[in-house]
Chain A
Amino acid sequence: MLVLTRKPGESLRIGAQVVVTVLERSSREVRLGIEAPGEIPIYRDEIYRKIQKKNLEALMNESTQPTMISAIIKGKNWNVLLDDTQR
């Protein structure tokens, strides 16, 4: 990890197009301004990591794919998917 020290009002440049500026600092937090092309997504890291985790949890696996698809093919209510006794 590259560690740099910046004061409020000072900036970092990442590549040619991304600039991160320290806007203000308090004892509990630092306010950052980010200039970047609109097509570059910018996320709070902890939220991004949560979404990563949720996507990985949502992966269909061999046990859910055939169960889900056959339940729906039979035109039943979604609840059939969730109740093994009705399969």
Chain B
Amino acid sequence: MDPFMQNNQTNMNSNFSVDIYFHFGLPGFENINDYSFEHLDEVEPFNILRARHDPKISLLLFDARLLPLYCDIPISEMEKKKVELKVDETPAVFLVLKIDSHEKRLTANLRAPIIFNFDTKMGHQLILEDETLSMEYVLEPETVNIA
């Protein structure tokens, strides 16, 4: 079950942390498999993916559902299998953000989203074939759907 829905049903404070296993690690961190996906009210709409045994390794994530242009990105059956999703199930899709302090902006890597199956507690970073997808899409609050 989507932990966002689960937590909203039970807690007013919807902070939560889910242990996630990346069977193949992440590109750049191939030997690190165990992470925590952290949702903190104070940093919404962002989330943090943190290596459980090396907290210095942490990435800022952004829920792809909030980016209208990214809604129709196809996730293949093979890719769903990597997090043990069934064909008719939809993964949670998040984008890795970079804080560019020199250019003073947040950018999202649209080419390599991370999919999660919060039921099986598995995650996997995809690399999409579409070469038009930017690895440094500039994220602005105005372009995001936050209810």
Residues of A bordering B, CB below 8 Å: 38-39, 41, 43, 47-48, 50-60, 63-65, 68-69, 72-73, 77-79, 81-83
Partner of A58, one of B24, B44, B60: B60
Let me know if B12 is at the binding interface, CB within 8 A: no
Let me know if B67 is at the binding interface, CB within 8 A: no
Partner of A55, one of B27, B44, B82, B136: B27
**Would you mind naming 20 contact pairs between A and B with Cβ atoms under 8 Å apart?**
A38-B78, A39-B78, A41-B82, A47-B127, A50-B135, A51-B28, A51-B109, A51-B125, A51-B135, A52-B28, A56-B28, A57-B98, A58-B97, A58-B98, A58-B109, A60-B58, A60-B60, A63-B101, A69-B43, A82-B105
Let me know if B86 is at the binding interface, CB within 8 A: no
Number of interface residues of B (CB under 8 A): 38
Alpha-carbon distance between A48 and B28 when the two chains are bound, in angstroms = 9
Q: Is the CB of A43 within 8 A of B127?
A: yes
Which secondary structure dominates chain B's binding surface? mixed
Residues of B bordering A, CB below 8 Å: 23-24, 26-29, 42-44, 46, 48, 57-60, 77-78, 81-82, 96-99, 101, 104-106, 109, 111-112, 124-125, 127, 135-136, 139-141
Q: Which residues of A contact B125 (CB under 8 A)?
A: 51, 55
Which secondary structure dominates chain A's binding surface? helix
Q: Is the CB of A68 within 8 A of B27?
A: no
Q: Which residues of B contact A51 (CB under 8 A)?
A: 27-28, 109, 111-112, 125, 127, 135
Q: Which residues of A contact B29 (CB under 8 A)?
A: 55
With A51-B127, A59-B59, A82-B104 in contact, is A64–B135 under 8 Å at CB? Answer: no
Q: Which residue of A lies closest to B107 (CB)?
A: A58
Q: Which residue of A lies closest to B77 (CB)?
A: A38
Q: Which residues of B contact A73 (CB under 8 A)?
A: 42-43
Q: Is the CB of A64 within 8 A of B101?
A: yes
Q: Is the CB of B106 within 8 A of A78?
A: yes
